[in-house]
Structure 1
Amino acid sequence: MLSVLKHFELCAMSTSNVCGQDTNELRLILSLSFASMVIFINLYLVQGMLPLIADAFSVTKSHATLLLSVTSFTMAFSLLLFAVLSDRVGRKKPILVSLYLLVILDFCALFITEFSQLVMLRMLQGALLASVPAMAMAYFKDELGNNALLKAGAIYIAANSVGGIAGRLLGGAMAQYLDWQQAMALLTGVSLIGTLIVSYLLPKSHFLKPELELGKWPLKKSDFKGFCYHLADPKLRLMYLVGGLAFMVMVNQFSYIQLHLMDSPFNLGRFEVTLIFLCYLSGTYASYRSAKWVAKQGVKRVFIYSVLALLAGTLLTLADHLTAIFMGFLISAFGFFLIHSSCNAWVAYRAKEHRAKATALYLCSYYLGAAMGGPYLLPFWNLWGWQGVVLGSVIALTILALVVLKLVNSKSQSGQLALES
């Protein structure tokens, strides 16, 4: 009898442990997804607010598009610093501290009166916005098994796209109905609510830190060895370039198409023009399904199909009809998020050590692409309008196609399964 009771007790403890583990995994995925939504709402809000920013600060709309480039630039390099920081103090604290500081900066934006001040504030925000992207995939890798990593990464990237859509639509609604101070007050409230949710849900990190390393401040050369380790990997270098080129085209196309749709013959309003960002929903679906498609088709085919979708969607917009433009952006967003979610998960998979640094290098290249894309496409826009943007995009996508072909045809033993399955 005692042996039977002992058996049931062990079974109950086992079930409890499994349920507790499943609950922590769910809390981790939900909390980092909410955190990413707060981050990307703040990052892309200005993209939907271009008319309001232009009027409030007396600059041209095309000049206002550079705000996204400035934020992406500081975000790109801050990703590297957060990756080092996370290896020193863990994942959880830097994420929470950066989110609360972001809320404070959103509140400070209420008192901005000059465009130069806004540029400086967005540069500071860019540094804080790097925290979650730099650590999310490493956090997943630390806490989840390999089987759950791809799915968690896919859900996380889908949350990124939802946050991007929400930020742009919210920015468009603000531009239509609110003044600058009212818009920033609303943003502060949204950021605070999201941060409180993350604080409640985010589980404790089990990342183990070498105790001797915790007291070594300031940063030393040894902290950056992980970056050199990953940059020495030729496949990772190509993967970083793929992410940067793809995002360089995609995110900045969405900025310039707004300007095109606000001009004749479309003459769309401030909020109406931001509805183009609903095309990101196809990317949300692609992100969510990417893990299954990679498992079924293999990364080679997924990459090739993604680049073809980006090219086809971009060229379709030359028809210069609202239906064709929306269909083109639906196809482009699908292709972009499919390649991005695959890259993001593959980098985390391939990195056997210094995982946060591997992800940070990928995202650094990714956001540097976004920062460079605005200035790169601006001369094309000034000379030939939207047709010029398409021309500049096709040139960049042709280079992307060549890089992808080199990547999928290269061979190495490490990570072979991931690219050749």
Structure 2
Amino acid sequence: MSSHAGPASGWRGFERGEREYSRIVLALFAAGFATFAQVFDAQAVLPAVRAETGLPAATAALMVSATTIGLAISVLPWASVADRVGRITAMKVSLVSATVISLLVPLLPGFEAVLVARGLVGLALGAVPGVAVAYLAEELHGRWVSVAAGTYVAGNTIGGVCGRLLAGPLSEVAGWRVGMQAVSLLGVAAAVLFLLLVPAPRGFLRAPRGGPGVRTRILFQLRDPTMLALFAQGFLLMGAFAVVYNYLGFHLAGAPFFVPEALVSLLFVAYLAGTVASRASASLAVRFGPLRVVLAGIGVMMLGLALMFSAALAVVILGLMVFTVGCFSAHPVASGLSGRWAQLGRAQATALYQLSWLGGTAFFGWLIGLVYDGSGWNSTLYSLLGMCFASAVLAVVGIRMLARHRPAPPG
């Protein structure tokens, strides 16, 4: 892993139009695809798992939470490893090990064994979300980092769509294990594409010995109100996103809709609206400012949630698409800013953002599921509206009101 070049030695970063820029963007797209196809394929098979096991919806959803918890736990350790061995090496090891474990998951007997293995998949995958944005910030010119981050997030969303659309229908025909196995093979293909495309690093510098330690870099982020506000966006907004996609299928399969489970998987096509939004959000942030785009995205999410109160199927589906557009307008901007605005420990800052949104996905994906099991869909939506409102308040306070109170980095 090369460490002779980097920002400190005058590296300008690749710009859009250069061959290496295209290879980096496509490679990160493939890495995001491989990662999130294997994380969220379980969402599409939850009704089939509940039907086979008789478990409550919130318990079945632990198949998703186990993997996102594993991701959340591992992103910071992977970021520290990447500081030493390099971002690319860390992501290569991460993808290869995760896809091997993922291939074994459907072969395991018993729900508990599957949960443990799903957690191991998350632990193995942590390098990609943990260091991807930091890698882009090192390798690309600053003006293109948010744009490329939007493409990376688009890879996440398309991977999530394909994983769900492949696993869901197959689970109806051949069982949920076959559906998940097929997604694992898709993840292998995307991981191979990443390995073939990603160029040698130019902007990486190994963490200097004697500088601020990992603990110092992490604690510094947690004292910075602006960074905390960004982390809150990931925690609350992506937590709300996970709840909608975990439980809307259960809601539509029951009264008054009675949508067949084979068709419920098609709801995940709404993710494609998020793919378009994630690409557009970076350009909008440059034009109108990141805070305005984040707040607008939150407002669109709340509008989508309001539409999902409807008893008309078409209105609910419209609400899902609007909600998805809003989430993937705010989330990529906040994610990109976690790398750009970090004053110290860029890898730790971006890893903490990833930990925040993955932790929110796991925590709220389970917690609000208890609300759904106990009080129904409308109470679930009210909970999500509250989360979105809290996210907007924290964005205004941390990004605007307390921006002048950021601590100075040590040394």
TM-score with structure 2 setting the length: 0.90
Q: Displacement, 1:372?
A: 1.2
Q: Which moved more, 1:349-358 or 1:34-43?
A: 349-358
Q: Does 1:28 align with 2:45?
A: no
Are 1:305 and 2:296 an aligned pair?
Answer: yes
Amino acid of the structure 1 residue aligned with 2:59: H
Are residues 1:363 and 2:354 paired? yes
1:50 is aligned, of 46, 59, 71, to 46
Cα deviation 1:145-187 (Å, max 9, x = unaligned): 1122121111111111111111111221221222344334423
Worse-superposed segment, 157-166 or 115-124: 157-166
Q: Which moved more, 1:342-351 or 1:400-409?
A: 400-409
Please say if residues 57 and 114 of structure 1, whose CA atoms lie closer than 8 Å, have aligned partners that are also in contact. no
1:95 and 2:86 aligned: no
1:152 aligns with 2:143: no
Q: Which residue is 1:217 aligned to?
A: none
Who is 1:6 aligned against?
Answer: none
Change (3 A) 1:160 1:110: closer
**Aligned partners of 1:57, 1:32: CA distance in 2, in Å?**
37
Q: In the alignment, which of 340, 345, 356 is matched to residue 354 of structure 1?
A: 345
Q: 2:389 and 2:258 mapped to 1: Cα distance?
A: 32
Contact 1:32–1:198 (CA<8 Å) still a contact in 2? yes
Q: Is 1:235 the counterpart of 2:232 in the alignment? A: no
CA distance in 2, matches of 1:294, 1:100: 35
Tell me: CA distance 1:123–1:391, structure 2 relative to 1, closer, same or farther (3 Å): same
Distance 1:250 1:43 in 2: 14
Instruction: Provide the residue aligned with 1:209 in structure 2.
Output: 206
CA distance in 2, matches of 1:294, 1:43: 28
3-state DSSP class of the match of 1:341?
helix
The residue aligned with 1:141 is 137
Counterpart Cα distance in 1 of 2:235 and 2:112: 27
Of 264, 281, 293, 1:273 maps to: 264
* Residue 73 in structure 1 maps to residue 69 in structure 2: yes
Residue of structure 1 equivalent to 2:10? none
What number of residue pairs does the alignment pair up? 393
Residue aligned with 1:271, SS = helix
Cα separation, 2, equivalents of 1:67 and 1:95:
23
Aligned partners of 2:333 and 2:15: how far apart in 1?
Answer: 29
Corresponding residue SS for 2:261: coil
Cα pair 1:350 1:414 within 8 Å, conserved: no
The correspondence of residues 110-259 of structure 1 with structure 2, limited to 5 A, is: 110-206=106-202, 207-210=204-207, 222-259=213-250
Contact 1:57–1:113 (8 Å) recurs in 2:
no
Q: What TM-score, normalized to structure 1?
A: 0.88
- Taking only the aligned residue pairs, the percentage that are identical comes to 25
2: CA distance between counterparts of 1:210 and 1:250? 35
8 Å CA contact retained: 1:243, 1:362: yes
Counterpart amino acid of 2:132? Answer: A
Structure 2 residue ranges without an equivalent (≥5): 1-13, 407-411
The answer to whether the 8 A contact 2:163-2:183 is kept is no
Residue 323 of structure 1 aligns to a residue whose secondary structure is helix
The answer to whether the 8 A contact 1:157-1:341 is kept is yes
Name which of structure 1's ranges 36-45 and 155-164 shifts more when overlaid on structure 2.
155-164
1:21 and 1:135 map into 2 onto residues whose CA distance is 24
**Counterpart among 320, 325, 348 of residue 334 in structure 1:** 325
Encode CA deviations 1:325-377: one digit per residue, 9 max, x unaligned: 11111111111111101101111111244211110011111111111112321
Give the root-mean-square deviation of aligned CA atoms. 2.3
Match of 1:392 among 363, 383, 407: 383
Q: Closer, same or farther in 2 for the Cα pair 1:31/1:376, shift >3 Å? A: same
Q: Which residue of 2 aligns with 1:14?
A: none
Q: What amino acid sits opposite 1:231 in the alignment?
A: L
CA distance in 1, matches of 2:340, 2:239: 24
- Name the SS of the counterpart of 2:383 in structure 1: helix
Q: Distance in 2 between matches of 1:241 and 1:181?
A: 35
Kept after mapping to 2: 8 A contact 1:169/1:271:
no
Partner Cα distance (1:225, 1:127) in 2: 23
**Within 1, Cα distance between the matches of 2:246 and 2:321?**
15
Deviations 1:200-252 (A, max 9, x none): 11111231225768xxxxxx992322111222211101111121011111111
**Counterpart residue identity of residue 349, structure 1:** R
* SS in structure 1 of the partner of residue 18 of structure 2: helix
